Structure 1
Amino acid sequence: MTVWLLGDQLHPESHVLDGADRVLLIEATAFADRRSYHPQKLGLVFAAMRHARDRLQDAGYEVEYRRGDSFGDALDAHFETHPGDDLRLMRPPSHGAADRLRELVESRGGTLTLVDDDRFLCSPAAFDEWHGGGDFRHEDFYRWMRRREGVLTADGDPVGGGWNFDESNRETPPDDWSPPPVPRYEPDALTRETLDWVEERFDTWGEREGFAWPVTHEDARDALDHFVTHRLPEFGPYQDAMVGDEWALAHSLLSSSLNLGLLGPREVVDAAVGAWERDAAPIESVEGFVRQVLGWREFMRHVYRRTMPDLAEGDLLDRSRDLPSLYYDGETRMRCLDEAVSHVYDHGYAHHIERLMVLSNFATLVGADPHELNEWFHVGFVDAYHWVTTPNVLGMGTFATDAFTSKPYVSSGNYVDKMSDHCTACPYDVDATTGEDACPFNALYWDFLKEHEETLRGTGRMGLMYSHVDRKGEAEWAAIRDRASKLRERAAEGSL
């Protein structure tokens, strides 16, 4: 029996390895030829696979490392050597992947046994039994998971006096605040060789230099320890903040390691809870982080699983404009967008508020095709996979679907001004809606609400927004529409 490990299933203690006669890893390149991925994303995946190969060999496993354009090519070679082999694989979360892989194996005379994916704590069967049917509500799921896993609870009640501490976690740092240090994992010889190969072999978008992501379980564990010790205490209060020239703040930077399988969710959650138990981090920070891992990440996996393929098709608001070129070249005077796009280009990463309230917010307001934005996230982020970007971008980010969200997460420039220091150094005036120097977010925001009023007015929690819409007169609306139209033209021209 051969265990087939995919390139994002790399935890050395994964249950799928139990009793393995040999381990198969396939380094396929065709997927990376279809899009201009970020070089740090490709370098991370391929370097992590190559390090996993060497670690498994050192641990005594017989490892078969195949390279080819596609899985099919590599499986041809495998079954020539091992005719009729039985393969065991953790069920991949991407829609349709399990069926496609089974067909590849069985058409070559082998068998494929699928087992649960231990990169998640809540199995499909457990989620389906809990959910039953109806709406998808994250808060209900999160509380159920806290009780089910015994995380930050006592006799079924939340420790610290509440299930969440969002109100305490919306602060902006004082001017004299400096973020905790960012851990760096300098590429070793194998990783440098991999990065060189990626640069030569593929057409990429983004900066290769400065790569410092963990590519082994040991480095990922060190990154977790570093976060818990140095960054977690201040993570909570400033998790929604944006600061100029700072790409990481106090965020964990662990999502790529979790999604590659270099870390397991339980070890991450336990490390954070342990910091609270020994009074090394406040409950506000620990709960906020646990919510991301135990709540939102698990929830997204199952919403994706239960709503595909409909989730990835269509758009509630029927938008079709091209994604502005600034998402690729970073050419814009808008400081918040310039910062966020630069973070993605330089690091393959931007934190969740930049993703939601800057990058997704602007694309939503300008009327860009949400599927093109989803593609951009998938290409540019080191932690992006179809199962995670699709619900986040199409649901939370752009309201292309209402599968699990009740309203679009859009805002004027006021939100950016409240949660960042960007507006004070921006040539656009955040307090103005119309006029040449007015913040683009403002006119686009009001025009968006007016354009989609028929769909949105009675949706979810939109009442307050539309009470403000109703106060504006015709002359003001004419000025807003004119400003928004010109902004969309400039965004399309790359002159914003």
Structure 2
Amino acid sequence: MKLGLILADQLTTNLASLRALDPEQDMLVMAEVAEEAQYVAHHKQKIALLFSAMRHFSAQLQAAGWRIHYHHYQPDSPHRSLVEVIQAVCFEYDIETLVVTECGEHRLQRAIDEDWQNQLSLPVECYQDDRFISSQEEFKSWASGRKQLRMEFFYREMRRKTGLLMEQGEPCGGQWNFDQDNRKRYKGAVALVPRIRHEQDEIDQQVLELVEREFPKHPGTMEHFNWATTREQAQAELSHFIQHRLPHFGDYQDAMVSGEHTLFHSLIAPYLNCGLLTPLEVCQQVELAYQQGKAPLNAAEGFIRQIIGWREYVRGIYWLLMPQYGQQNQLNNQRQLPGYFWHGNTRMKCMSECFESTFRNAYAHHIQRLMITGNFSLLAGITPQQVCDWYLAVYADAYDWVELPNTLGMVMHADGGYLASKPYAASGNYINKMSDYCKHCSYSVKTSSEENSCPFNSLYWHFIQRHQQQFEKNPRMAMIYRSWTKMADEKQQAIIHRAEYLLEHIEEL
């Protein structure tokens, strides 16, 4: 008899390992274990989402005729890791082979590949995760021989491969990318539609109570838990997005508004990343909305690009470069992560808004992550590994393969420009342009060197100055350095003095 392991990010009935097994002869194992729930301080809602979704998926598989050994979380369980649970199952049953689908984390995949066969004393069959559009080998082949791995060119290959938004071999609308059309500030011209509400069943309630009881010190609150925990609920969330938010997603995907945490975003990344939805089906439904005239091209293209372009691209980067990639710190950042990243109390309005959404919902949209909490971390010189661990912990959609390249490469530029051709550093002017946060902040976004100057302004020029040797020859930053060198020495010194004061008192901002 073969034993199939189903991980928390593999809740898909068409999973490769499930296709390789026979429900009449083989069995499955699923497990909620301390090692996976606690290796970082995962947000309470993230743990609850995965435990509940796993339990619902297990029930779905059992109804379809599968035998399942399900290990429920127990704080005093002697089996604290996945392999220990599997060992116990193998002791109880006559297991000949363990069958798995490649997982989303190098740490666990290395253990499966290098250790589990010896620990379990049986062969381990590992199948390619073909839910992704590009396999690891396909990405590696695409990357071979290229000096720079630019997402835009990879994205075009994925468009050609899938046929999404293509007409007779050419992109719909005559261009591949409509990103320039997707940067409008939201001023209330279009009404916001509330999130769909998901009714909680007995499984959900049991899990919510479990997480509150067993993970009290983990970040976040459970009060506003509203994640889909079944495929049907995830599909309803997708349909709601396509009907009510997709038509305006393109225009306002970069916008930020005080008190509004979701705007026109889909919030389906957690379901894509745990398997309740698959990328191709999501993109095909978005494409259909465009074809039926229910969504404009810039919205459909911008959304699809995030999935078959960026999502697939960062996964390829992750598996191409790990494990060395995770230790990169090319800017030599040494500062510790400030305490407000965990408690949220700061005078910086933009940061407090992001923290509020993060702890309330286990969610913040991509511009909040990149251009506010991420931008601040970059400007302040926070150690990239601490920033990566924070992002991995606090967001419901965070898995190592997607979080690490996004944070270490895109946010922190710690890979020396491998992922992004320039650092995503910005002053408070960008935040003021894309949000209303600055209007409600005790700091002034109009100055850089005064006592109440926006920290982003002062720290931005400090970042530019301290990394001048690394970036002044970057053609995409030439204008910035021209502006810096044209400043009077007295103004430069005042800005640097203000920035250094802020860094010395970073916990007080």
The alignment status of 1:348 with 2:355, answered yes or no, reads no
How far off is 1:314 after superposition? 3.2
Find the partner of 1:256 among 270, 278, 295.
Answer: 270
Aligned-partner SS, 2:120: coil
Asked if 2 retains the 8 angstrom alpha-carbon contact of 1:41 and 1:348, the reply is: yes
Cα distance in 2, alignment partners of residues 464 and 272 from structure 1: 38
Aligned-partner SS, 1:236: helix
* 1:213 alignment partner in structure 2: 227
Q: More displaced, 473-482 or 247-256?
A: 473-482
Find the partner of 1:146 among 146, 150, 159.
Answer: 159
| Counterpart amino acid of residue 395 in structure 1 | G
How far off is 1:30 after superposition? 2.0
**Which whole-Å deviations, capped at 9, do the CAs of 1:415-464 have from their partners, x for residues lacking one?**
00110111112121111111112111111100110011111212351111
**Which whole-Å deviations, capped at 9, do the CAs of 1:172-198 have from their partners, x for residues lacking one?**
122454322212223221111111111
* 1:88 alignment partner in structure 2: 99
Cα distance in 1, alignment partners of residues 410 and 211 from structure 2: 32
Asked if 1 retains the 8 angstrom alpha-carbon contact of 2:350 and 2:372, the reply is: yes
Asked if 2 retains the 8 angstrom alpha-carbon contact of 1:181 and 1:230, the reply is: no
The alignment status of 1:132 with 2:137, answered yes or no, reads no
Cα distance in 2, alignment partners of residues 458 and 194 from structure 1: 54
Cα distance in 2, alignment partners of residues 226 and 330 from structure 1: 31
Asked if 2 retains the 8 angstrom alpha-carbon contact of 1:119 and 1:258, the reply is: no
The alignment status of 1:51 with 2:25, answered yes or no, reads no
Asked if 2 retains the 8 angstrom alpha-carbon contact of 1:75 and 1:105, the reply is: no
Cα distance in 1, alignment partners of residues 255 and 447 from structure 2: 22
**Which whole-Å deviations, capped at 9, do the CAs of 1:378-414 have from their partners, x for residues lacking one?**
1100000111111001110011112221111010011
How far off is 1:96 after superposition? 4.4
* 1:330 alignment partner in structure 2: 344
TM-score, normalization: structure 1? 0.97
Cα distance in 1, alignment partners of residues 475 and 87 from structure 2: 52
| Counterpart amino acid of residue 14 in structure 1 | L
The alignment status of 1:69 with 2:83, answered yes or no, reads no
Asked if 2 retains the 8 angstrom alpha-carbon contact of 1:26 and 1:65, the reply is: yes
Aligned-partner SS, 2:444: coil
| Counterpart amino acid of residue 6 in structure 1 | L
* 1:266 alignment partner in structure 2: 280
Cα distance in 1, alignment partners of residues 487 and 121 from structure 2: 69
Q: Closer, same or farther in 2 for the Cα pair 1:392/1:180, shift >3 Å?
A: same
Aligned-partner SS, 2:252: coil
Asked if 2 retains the 8 angstrom alpha-carbon contact of 1:83 and 1:109, the reply is: no
Cα distance in 2, alignment partners of residues 216 and 118 from structure 1: 21
Cα distance in 1, alignment partners of residues 71 and 174 from structure 2: 53
Aligned-partner SS, 1:63: strand
Cα distance in 2, alignment partners of residues 420 and 161 from structure 1: 31
* 1:155 alignment partner in structure 2: 168
Aligned-partner SS, 2:36: helix
The alignment status of 1:471 with 2:489, answered yes or no, reads no
Aligned-partner SS, 1:78: helix
Within 5 Å, give how 1:157-196 maps onto structure 2: 157-196=170-209
Q: Give the paired residue count.
A: 494
Asked if 1 retains the 8 angstrom alpha-carbon contact of 2:16 and 2:101, the reply is: no
Cα distance in 2, alignment partners of residues 28 and 394 from structure 1: 27
Cα distance in 1, alignment partners of residues 103 and 460 from structure 2: 38
Q: More displaced, 471-480 or 81-90?
A: 81-90
* 1:100 alignment partner in structure 2: 111
Cα distance in 2, alignment partners of residues 91 and 376 from structure 1: 25
* 2:452 alignment partner in structure 1: 437
How far off is 1:260 after superposition? 0.3
Aligned-partner SS, 2:373: helix
Aligned-partner SS, 2:419: coil
**Which whole-Å deviations, capped at 9, do the CAs of 1:173-228 have from their partners, x for residues lacking one?**
22454322212223221111111111211231111111010111111111111111
Cα distance in 1, alignment partners of residues 46 and 427 from structure 2: 32
Q: More displaced, 92-101 or 374-383?
A: 92-101
Q: Closer, same or farther in 2 for the Cα pair 1:177/1:228, shift >3 Å?
A: closer
Asked if 1 retains the 8 angstrom alpha-carbon contact of 2:29 and 2:86, the reply is: no
Asked if 2 retains the 8 angstrom alpha-carbon contact of 1:93 and 1:305, the reply is: no
Between the aligned residues of both structures, percent identity stands at 37
Aligned-partner SS, 1:107: helix
Q: CA RMSD in A?
A: 1.4
Q: More displaced, 89-98 or 450-459?
A: 89-98
How far off is 1:373 after superposition? 0.8
Q: Closer, same or farther in 2 for the Cα pair 1:426/1:178, shift >3 Å?
A: farther
| Counterpart amino acid of residue 297 in structure 1 | R
Cα distance in 1, alignment partners of residues 110 and 357 from structure 2: 36
| Counterpart amino acid of residue 323 in structure 1 | L
| Counterpart amino acid of residue 122 in structure 2 | G
TM-score, normalization: structure 2? 0.94
| Counterpart amino acid of residue 162 in structure 2 | E
* 1:114 alignment partner in structure 2: 126
Asked if 1 retains the 8 angstrom alpha-carbon contact of 2:379 and 2:460, the reply is: yes
* 2:464 alignment partner in structure 1: 449
How far off is 1:108 after superposition? 1.7
Cα distance in 1, alignment partners of residues 346 and 409 from structure 2: 26
Q: Closer, same or farther in 2 for the Cα pair 1:355/1:460, shift >3 Å?
A: farther
Asked if 1 retains the 8 angstrom alpha-carbon contact of 2:40 and 2:392, the reply is: no
Asked if 2 retains the 8 angstrom alpha-carbon contact of 1:187 and 1:211, the reply is: no
How far off is 1:46 after superposition? 0.9
Any unmatched runs of 5+ in structure 1? none
Find the partner of 1:427 among 442, 448, 469.
Answer: 442
The alignment status of 1:238 with 2:252, answered yes or no, reads yes
Asked if 2 retains the 8 angstrom alpha-carbon contact of 1:26 and 1:66, the reply is: yes
* 2:14 alignment partner in structure 1: 13
Find the partner of 1:42 among 28, 42, 47.
Answer: 47
Cα distance in 2, alignment partners of residues 160 and 188 from structure 1: 45
How far off is 1:165 after superposition? 0.8
Within 5 Å, give how 1:409-428 maps onto structure 2: 409-428=424-443
Q: Closer, same or farther in 2 for the Cα pair 1:405/1:460, shift >3 Å?
A: farther
How far off is 1:468 after superposition? 0.9
Q: More displaced, 167-176 or 442-451?
A: 167-176
